[in-house]
Structure 1
Amino acid sequence: MSRIENAEFEELLGGAPVMAIFRGLGARRSLELVERAWGLGIDAVELPIQSDDDVEALRVVAAAARERGRVVGAGTVVTVEQVELAARAGAAFTVSPGFDEAVVRASAEAGLPPLPGVATATEVQRATALGLSWLKAFPASALGPGWFRAMRGPFPGVRFVATGGMDADNAGGFLAAGVRSVAVGQALEDESQLPRLAELLRGRG
């Protein structure tokens, strides 16, 4: 079987330690918050697509991203059909909560680097055997920073994006454990999080 690489995330995430996830907010509110994130220097953005409204929000934000020379990813991609929706909406990459080889392959074939989720050494090993070097660890807050330190031993070449329960208070501890980026979602319901995360980003610049 052909190998699948996703080293493009080095460029897609811009080396940034923070990615913002805007879930289920509708097109207008999503665009408003994404533009605010961009203005604060948080370039990496993900919009989960779990409904028709979400796909429309992704389409609107992706169009704005293209005008500004930026990219946006489609999140919570769990089926091959969603990969197709993400591609048509203009997503630059896909993010999944778990590891599904069919979804990973469909995404790669559509020209969208996949970022599948893992939570065990077995899943990390399966993903790296395919050729993937960037993986989403979910749910990161339940796994804890120690999980990432432990994974660095057997999998030194893997770049992890920590997702699930991340916020401005705990992100630093995960970054210190070797995580390449933290993805913050639900915490962004508190609008004070964006500027605090931007400060974290600048502190590591």
Structure 2
Amino acid sequence: MTAHGFGPIFAGSRVMVILRDLPSQETVRLANRAWDLGIDVVEVPVRTPEAMPALRAAVAAGRDRDRLVGAGTVFSPERVRQAADAGAAFTVAPGLDLAVADAALRHGIPHLPGVATPTEAQRARDHGLTWLKAFPAVSLGPQWFKAVAGPLPELRFVATGGIDAGNAAGFLVAGVRVVAVGSALSDPAQIDRLAELARDDRDTAARPD
């Protein structure tokens, strides 16, 4: 496992839930709902300091259920420190900033940077980052992942941005390891379908990084 390996975090997981800009109580409620459905990994974006209480509340709830909670929209070393202090199991960023990745490493947690081009993906790989967030995934499309897998087969992608129950399966078939879903969790029409994705082929998702 590399220092930034997400294999143990995403082992058996095909869906990650993003709970953005919600009060602490609602964040915990939806996190518990996700865990009840078998969606094990939750991300709470902390774009502003006001989001830190929701992250801390979700981390505490996850600790009670042996579930992992990461911090998203982490784009500075200082925000990495705050996320680590709050107990985040990992950090996620919309773009590639190697200083942020290095800060996460110093705090002992893996970092998932965002990429949208093969050049960014190669730069991340050369820095020891083999798990990457592809953003915005809906603009890249499933074929992008198949194309990038040719020259960069060692990379593992989490597809984020515009993902819902209607298009998630297409990204998984294209080789994406995990799909990250935001507002779709609050849509009752999609919840059961997302839960099915979370359960399907869990053994195939449990691969080393």
TM surpasses 0.5: yes
- Structure 1's unaligned 5+ residue stretches are none
CA distance in 2, matches of 1:57, 1:88: 13
Correspondence 1:1-205 to 2 at 5 A: 5-7=3-5, 9-205=6-202
CA distance in 2, matches of 1:126, 1:52: 30
Q: Which 4+ residue blocks in structure 1 deviate beyond 4 angstroms?
A: none
Q: Report how far residue 70 of structure 1 moved.
A: 1.4
Aligned to 2:207: none
SS at match of 2:57: helix
Q: Which amino acid aligns with 2:149?
A: R
Structure 1, 31-40 or 47-56: larger mean CA deviation: 47-56
SS at match of 2:30: helix
Kindly report the root-mean-square deviation, in angstroms, between the aligned alpha carbons of the 2 structures: 1.2
Report which structure shows greater RCO (CA 8 Å, sep ≥6).
2
Query: Is the contact made by 1:94 and 1:113 (CA closer than 8 Å) also made in structure 2?
Result: yes
Query: Is the contact made by 1:72 and 1:91 (CA closer than 8 Å) also made in structure 2?
Result: yes
Query: Is the contact made by 2:184 and 2:191 (CA closer than 8 Å) also made in structure 1?
Result: no
- Structure 2's unaligned 5+ residue stretches are 203-209
Q: Report how far residue 68 of structure 1 moved.
A: 1.6
CA distance in 1, matches of 2:106, 2:152: 25
Query: Is the contact made by 1:27 and 1:53 (CA closer than 8 Å) also made in structure 2?
Result: no
Query: Is the contact made by 1:161 and 1:183 (CA closer than 8 Å) also made in structure 2?
Result: yes
Q: Which amino acid aligns with 2:87?
A: G
Q: Which amino acid aligns with 1:184?
A: V
Query: Is the contact made by 1:23 and 1:48 (CA closer than 8 Å) also made in structure 2?
Result: yes
Q: What is the TM-score when the length of structure 2 is the normalising length?
A: 0.93
SS at match of 2:44: strand
1:106-156 Cα deviation digits (max 9, x unpaired): 011111100000000110110000111100000000000010000010110
Question: How high is the sequence identity, in percent, across the aligned residues?
Answer: 56
Query: Is the contact made by 1:188 and 1:194 (CA closer than 8 Å) also made in structure 2?
Result: yes
Query: Is the contact made by 1:23 and 1:185 (CA closer than 8 Å) also made in structure 2?
Result: yes
CA distance in 2, matches of 1:111, 1:88: 11
Structure 1, 30-39 or 49-58: larger mean CA deviation: 49-58
Query: Is the contact made by 1:26 and 1:53 (CA closer than 8 Å) also made in structure 2?
Result: no
